[in-house]
Every structure is written in C-alpha cells, then in structure tokens.
C-alpha cells in the first residue's frame, strides 16, 4: 500500500481516542440539532444529517429569520466556522474544553452573527444524556485522532458514493447521522413496514424510530464503535425488516461476518485498512451484503439496480 493510501486509511483504535470521541460526538450533536431545529422534516430524518466535505463536516445551508447560514467543522484548521448570507462570520477554536464550555461559546458565536438559536440541549443515542450546558465531564480534543476520523470519513464517502450510484431506486445521500455517529447510505425497496423497531439506541423517542424505519430499507456505512457497546470501528450492513435466514447468509470478504448482538453484517475497519486494496475490499463487503439482503427479502433487483454506472471523465463501466 502506498504512503498516500496509508494516510487515507489511518489506524483508529477506539481505546486510544475514546475520550476525544465522546466529546466530539456531543459537539457534533449540538451543531446537528441546530439543523434539526431550523429545517423542515424530510422523510427518514434526512434533514438533520451532516455531510463530509474536503475540510471536515458541514450542515449545508440553514434558514432562520431571513438569514441563510451554515456551520462547518474544519478539521484542518481545527475551528468551528459559522457563515451567514449577511456576510457575517464567527468561529470557535476546536481545542480541549468541556461540552458545557463549547455549548456556551457556540451560542455566543451565533449571537455575534445575529442568530438566536434554541435546540433540544441534551444528547441522544448515548447512555450519558447530561444536558450540554451542564456537561463538564467530557472535554478532550486530540487533533491527531480527529484528523484520522475525518480522513476515514473521506475515504469511506468515496466508496459509498460509488456504491450508491449502482442503485436507481429510492436512496439517501451519503450522510452522517449525529445521533448514532455513523456515515451511511440507505436503499429502499418501496413497501412500507408494519412496525418500526423498538428499544435499541438509548434516549431515542419511539416516534424517531417510526419515521426512520417507515419503509423497507437496507443500510450500509461506517461506525467508529462505542465504549461498552462495540469496542472497535466497523463497516456495517443491515436490512429492515430482517428476512428469515439472514444470519446464515454468505458474504465477502473472509473477515466479514454476521454479528448477532448488533443484528448486522460487520467488517472490521482494520481488515479494510490493512488490505492491499481498501477500496475494493470495502466495495466487496457492501455489494455482497446488499445482494444477500435483497435476495432473501425478495427485492425486485432488476428494477432497482443500475446495469451501467457513469464514472468521472465520461468513462462508463458495468456495475
């Protein structure tokens, strides 16, 4: 593997950066909840997601009180940037500080550009749901590991976008859900589901699950893991509702497996990172997982899949 490839797929052992991860996750939730508060609901909560961009993560454009603005985590300069259509800007340096301090600085920065925001000010999908304004426990920020995470997001996004292009049915963009903190893309077969899953992620209202799983779907993506739940970064693939026999389905590569605790196919990130071709290894996992799920669920694959995919530069390759 070349030096460039290594930098694109860096090591990310959870134990070495978990404190930073738990802090960053809550910072990202604060920004994500801003988008959630001031954008109209789109099916499956697609209006709340963040997007991977060349310098970090962005909300894209949000409108409030006649002002358009966006918020971006810049993981090169390590700043949070706020920009408005009125030409005003503000920033918050990304350094080690408590969630409470970050939240206070974020609100002050918003006020400085003429925006008074109100959000649900406590995290979701984590066990410790201490309100942001009271959270003095989480306050780590390791630039090196944040940069590594962003590089993995960039590399994963590239492959996930290729995977998305092979499907002509209803599909999400490649986006980051701030609650679960996964970068993912979802394909849909069409029919509605009879019942959304219950329980599962902590501090998530059932109505959120009802909207998220309103139609039959198959989702793949990258997740950094979580202390006490899954102690390593993984790629995942799951279908809902899960058809009978899914746990016995054969997928590739050899390092991939069905995890009964998560109820998903998983591929350790380390197996992708250390392979001779990380892009090909990841794509093999994505496509074989999809094929196994779609076949068992009896999706109309011929109607949903693209037989040729246009590539950059006008080249066309069969999928």
Per-residue pLDDT tens digits for 228-266: 888 999 999 999 999 999 999 999 999 999 999 999 999
Check if the beta carbon of residue 35 is closer than 8 Å to that of residue 119.
no
Q: What is the mean pLDDT of the chain?
A: 93
d(CA 156, CA 286): 11
Peptide bond into 253 cis (omega under 30): yes
Label residues 222-255 b or e (16+ Cβ within 10 Å = b).
bbbbbeeebeebbbbbbbbeeeeebeebebeeee
Q: Nearest to residue 224, comparing CAs of 180, 279, 290?
A: 180
Total residues belonging to the chain? 319
Q: Which helix (H) or strand (E) holds 145?
A: helix 143-164
- Partnered with residue 50 across adjacent β-strands are 176
d(CA 170, CA 300): 13
- Partnered with residue 226 across adjacent β-strands are 230
Position 315 scores a pLDDT of 56
Tracing tokens 């609650």 back to the chain, one arrives at 179
What's the pTM?
0.93
SS3 content of the chain, % helix, strand, coil (to 5): 35, 25, 40
What average pLDDT does this structure show over 197-226?
86
- Residue 141: count other Cβ atoms within 10 Å of its Cβ: 18
Per-residue pLDDT tens digits for 37-89: 999 999 998 999 999 999 999 999 999 999 999 999 999 999 999 999 999 99
Give the model's confidence band at 316: pLDDT under 50 very low, under 70 low, under 90 confident, else very high: low
Q: Measured in Å, how far apart are the chain's first and last C-alpha atoms? A: 25
Peptide bond into 91 cis (omega under 30): no
What average pLDDT does this structure show over 207-228?
89
pLDDT at 319 over 70: no
Look up residue 309 and give its two tokens.
């995919």
Check if the beta carbon of residue 211 is closer than 8 Å to that of residue 201.
no
Per-residue pLDDT tens digits for 259-295: 999 999 999 999 999 999 999 999 999 999 999 999 9
Look up residue 175 and give its two tokens.
């986006």
């Amino acid at each position: 593997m070349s030096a460039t490839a290594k930098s694109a797929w860096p090591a990310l052992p959870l134990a070495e950066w978990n404190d930073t991860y738990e802090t960053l996750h809550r910072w990202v939730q604060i920004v994500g909840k801003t988008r959630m508060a001031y954008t109209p609901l789109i099916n499956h909560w697609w209006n709340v997601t963040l997007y991977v961009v060349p310098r970090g993560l962005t909300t894209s454009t949000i409108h409030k009180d006649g002002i358009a603005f966006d918020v971006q985590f810049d993981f090169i300069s390590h700043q949070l940037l706020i920009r408005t259509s009125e030409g005003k800007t503000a920033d918050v340096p990304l350094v080690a500080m408590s969630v409470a301090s970050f939240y206070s600085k974020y609100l002050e920065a918003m006020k400085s550009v003429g925006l008074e925001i109100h959000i649900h000010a406590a995290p979701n999908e984590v066990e410790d749901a201490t309100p942001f304004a009271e959270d003095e426990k989480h306050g780590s920020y390791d630039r090196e590991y944040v940069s590594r995470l962003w590089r993995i997001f960039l590399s994963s996004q590239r492959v996930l976008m290729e995977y998305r292009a092979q499907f002509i049915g209803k599909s999400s963009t490649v986006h980051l859900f701030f609650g679960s903190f996964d970068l993912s893309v979802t394909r849909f077969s069409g029919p509605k589901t009879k019942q959304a899953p219950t329980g599962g992620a902590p501090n998530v209202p059932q109505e959120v699950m009802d909207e998220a799983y309103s139609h039959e779907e198959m989702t793949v993506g990258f997740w950094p893991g979580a202390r006490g739940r899954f102690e390593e970064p993984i790629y995942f693939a799951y279908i809902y509702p899960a058809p009978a026999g899914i746990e016995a389905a054969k997928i590739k590569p050899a390092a991939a497996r069905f995890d009964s605790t998560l109820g998903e196919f998983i591929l350790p990130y380390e197996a992708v990172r250390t392979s001779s071709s990380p892009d090909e290894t990841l794509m093999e996992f994505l496509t074989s997982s999809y094929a196994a799920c779609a076949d068992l669920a009896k999706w109309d694959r011929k109607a949903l899949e693209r037989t040729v995919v246009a590539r950059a530069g006008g080249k066309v390759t069969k999928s």
